[in-house]
Amino acid sequence: QQPVQSPQAVILREGEDAVINCSSSKALYSVHWYRQKHGEAPIFLMILLKGGEQKGHDKISASFNEKKQQSSLYLTASQLSYSGTYFCGTAGIYNQGGKLIFGQGTELSVKP
Amino acid sequence: DAGVIQSPRHEVTEMGQEVTLRCKPISGHDYLFWYRQTMMRGLELLIYFNNNVPIDDSGMPEDRFSAKMPNASFSTLKIQPSEPRDSAVYFCASSLGGPAYNEQFFGPGTRLTVL
């Protein structure tokens, strides 16, 4: 039931773009995205609640395809501060209480 | 706002000892979550509470683990007896509403090492 994230790791140069994918085998209420820097707690980025919904925050945006149970996180014109591990968390329709199940994470490194 | 507070930040103990981790959620948040993070298993939900009542404890590994929330501002996660495989970072998080639709605020975590 754990969502699958891809890629597992990505290295970018400042200014480059990246896409992180999250795929679930179960029907979903929502998809959540968090970023965690080394030695720190996960920090919330955004929630996507509706099929086909897209949200954006600065140069980070995401989409949610409810029919395919997939979400993608888009990072454009990456900055050094974007480095960290990105987790998607999925709340499935059949999960008790809609609890989040997190993917294994995608490690993003942005180099100067 | 002080955010979610956890103590201790680091704990080193010997196998067989009792370990108690503590959490103070953000005031006004009705939901509290306990997570465990390891390289092998990632970020796993252990248990969560709504208004101090445990809702889902299916992630609690075994009877050695127990969690309580005696009031809205305090929760504990206890491991007795501890084993080396319990070594991990344990996070507490809280949210205003249910987990499917609400942002979770994570505490700084407790790094547990069991020798």
Task: Please report which helix (H) or strand (E) contains residue B90, including its range.
Answer: strand B88-95
Confidence of residue A103 (pLDDT cuts 50, 70, 90): very high
Please tell me the predicted confidence (pLDDT) of residue A53: 67
B55-73 residues labelled b (16+ CB within 10 A) or e (exposed): bbeebbeeeebebebeebe
Location of structure tokens 């754990």: A2
Per-residue pLDDT of A28-71, as tens digits, reads: 889 999 999 999 999 999 999 866 666 677 789 999 988 888 99
Query: A88: closest CA among A21, A17, A12, A25?
Result: A21
Give the percent of chain B with pLDDT over 90: 91
The helix/strand/coil state of B4 is coil
Residues of A in contact with B104 (CB under 8 A): 32, 44, 100
* Nearest CA-CA distance, residue B80 and chain A, Å: 25
**What's the pLDDT at B28?**
95
| Phi, psi dihedrals of residue B10, rounded to the nearest 5° | -135, 140
- Which residues from A are below 8 Å from B50, CB to CB? 97
Interval B46-57: pLDDT, tens: 999 999 999 999
Query: What pLDDT does residue A44 have?
Result: 95
C-beta atoms of B56 and A105 within 8 A:
no
Which tens digit of pLDDT belongs to each residue from B66-86? 999 999 999 999 999 999 999
* C-alpha–C-alpha distance, residues B23 and A49, integer Å: 29
Say which residues have a Cβ less than 8 Å from residue B49's Cβ, sequence separation at least 6.
Answer: B31, B32, B33, B55, B67, B69, B75
Instruction: Nearest by CB to B100, from A29, A44, A87: name it.
Output: A29
Residue B75 CA to residue B50 CA, distance in Å, equals 12
Residues of chain B with C-beta less than 8 angstroms from the C-beta of A32: 103-104
